């Protein structure tokens, strides 16, 4: 094969890795029953693919090829180890049995493997503060740094939690299954949290050059649909609606160069009306049930935005009312921050700054760049340029995302230009 063709195969393998690696990994865990062995097998399979596909071409079903190859390589690896360690022989026999038994399962099982893995990671035997980080790492492939950023904690602390979670699954022999319907309620909160955090990382990446990661957003929506098929629950409907309504704005959120466009400045003709219709219908169903939770309330807020023909026509009074309800359902400084911005749009920027300052005075969100970015924007709107400049600089010192950094730098530059402009 020519060098050009060889390079093309490698590039295609890279694309398949980005799209399929976590699905392959989830299926290998089902087949092998072991996190670390599945991780090693997945990487071995992709390494083998680069070599073999250069000779044979990419198969029609690359995921199935990778799963099969990974399974056999894992078993071969265990057999080699067993030759030198008699204690490993029993383990090999057990895993071979698990792999052979599970290999006969249907394609539908393969499609649901990531959902099974989420429920495994969110088993009640695993500490709540470990469940979500573990799932984000093992199911979705987020780095420890990305997960730590989402939880506003250090990478080392997050790494320890993930290791503890994997050990608990292994030592407690936690089953790799979607639970019975009677067991779903006690597992659902953690699962919904995981799906939403995956979506958030795809919709507004915590770090890196790209503001968004479509693959993560699409995967979260797919998982949300699977959950909606599993059970009729208002929070599942609310979460799916929330993700669809946010995702409907994807095309309008960035420039061609990847720079951030705020909601008020977006071209609403680019919004995906089909996703908006589906999302609003789900919101209406959830609200009609009379038992709305935090996801349904957040979706209702997004629905108000989606229904407004322009930023100026947005019903900010209704949005503040929804935020008041959300604070009752899920008290948190993040919700308070979002409410403060809504109040600023309703009553004026100074009202929002006062609320944000109260959050910071309690020592909350002091390491969260968006609290300073919000304060800076409201100060700018109010003509408090010196305070705005300080807040933008604080936000810049904390931001990890490249497009957000460029946006903040642009705002600072605009402040400086207005200060020296003869028209200012």
State yes or no: pLDDT of 86 exceeds 70.
no
- 316 three-state secondary structure: helix
Q: How far is CA 116 from CA 20, 177, 191, 273, 381, in A?
A: 16, 5, 11, 32, 48
Whole-angstrom distance, CA of residue 123 vs CA of residue 121? 6
Q: Is residue 24 within 8 Å of residue 70, measured between CB atoms?
A: yes
pLDDT at 23: 86
Query: Which range, 122-136, 142-156, 215-229, 302-316, has the best average confidence (pLDDT)?
Result: 302-316
State yes or no: pLDDT of 17 exceeds 80.
yes
* Least confident span in 6-15, 91-100, 152-161: 91-100
Backbone angles phi, psi at 88, to 5 degrees: -80, -15
Residue spans of the domains in the chain: they are: 1-107, 112-206
State yes or no: pLDDT of 246 exceeds 70.
yes
- Extract the tokens encoding 57: 């071409």
State yes or no: pLDDT of 46 exceeds 90.
yes
pLDDT at 105: 47
DSSP3 helix / strand / coil % (the chain, rounded to 5): 75, 0, 25
Which residues are 386's β-sheet partners?
none
Kindly report, residue by residue over 332-352, the tens digit of the pLDDT: 999 999 999 999 999 999 999
- Which position has the token pair 């596909």? 53
Whole-angstrom distance, CA of residue 341 vs CA of residue 328? 18
pLDDT at 223: 85
Vertex 359 angle, CA 358 and 361, to 5°: 60
Residue 272 pLDDT class (50, 70, 90 cuts): very high
- Which position has the token pair 């295609």? 12
């Amino acid at each position: 094969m020519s060098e050009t063709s060889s390079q093309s195969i490698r590039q295609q393998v890279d694309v398949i890795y980005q799209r399929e690696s976590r699905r392959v990994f989830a299926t290998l865990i089902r087949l092998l029953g072991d996190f670390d062995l599945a991780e090693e097998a997945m990487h071995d399979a992709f390494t083998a693919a680069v070599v073999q596909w250069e000779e044979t071409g990419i198969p029609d079903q690359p995921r199935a090829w990778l799963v099969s190859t990974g399974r056999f390589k894992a078993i071969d690896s265990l057999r080699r180890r067993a030759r030198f360690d008699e204690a490993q022989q029993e383990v090999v026999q057990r895993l071979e049995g698990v792999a052979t038994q599970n290999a006969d399962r249907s394609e539908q099982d393969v499609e649901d493997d990531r959902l099974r893995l989420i429920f495994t990671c969110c088993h009640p035997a695993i500490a709540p503060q470990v469940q979500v980080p573990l799932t984000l790492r093992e199911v979705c492939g987020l780095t420890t740094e990305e997960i730590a950023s989402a939880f506003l904690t250090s990478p080392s602390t997050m790494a320890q939690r993930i290791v503890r979670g994997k050990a608990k699954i292994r030592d407690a022999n936690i089953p790799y299954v979607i639970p019975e319907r009677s067991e779903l309620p006690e597992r659902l909160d953690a699962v919904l949290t995981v799906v939403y955090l995956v979506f958030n990382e795809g919709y507004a990446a915590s770090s890196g050059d790209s503001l968004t990661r479509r693959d993560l957003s699409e995967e979260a929506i797919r998982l949300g649909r699977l959950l909606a098929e599993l059970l009729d629950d208002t929070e599942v409907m609310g979460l799916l609606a929330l993700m669809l309504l946010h995702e409907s704005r994807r095309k309008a959120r960035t420039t061609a160069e990847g720079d951030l466009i705020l909601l008020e400045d977006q071209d609403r003709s680019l919004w995906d009306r089909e996703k908006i219709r589906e999302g609003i219908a789900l919101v209406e169903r959830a609200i009609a049930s009379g038992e709305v939770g935090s996801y349904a309330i957040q979706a209702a807020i997004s629905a108000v935005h989606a229904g407004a023909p322009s930023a100026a026509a947005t019903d900010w009074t209704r949005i503040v009312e929804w935020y008041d309800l959300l604070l009752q359902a899920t008290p948190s400084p993040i919700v308070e921050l979002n409410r403060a911005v809504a109040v600023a749009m309703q009553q004026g920027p100074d009202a929002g700054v006062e609320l944000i300052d109260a959050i910071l005075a309690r020592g909350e969100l002091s390491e969260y760049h968006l609290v300073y970015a919000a304060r800076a924007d409201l100060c700018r709107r109010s003509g408090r340029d010196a305070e705005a400049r300080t807040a933008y600089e604080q936000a810049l010192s904390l931001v990890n995302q490249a497009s957000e950094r460029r946006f903040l730098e642009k705002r600072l530059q605009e402040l400086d230009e207005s200060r020296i402009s003869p028209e200012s």
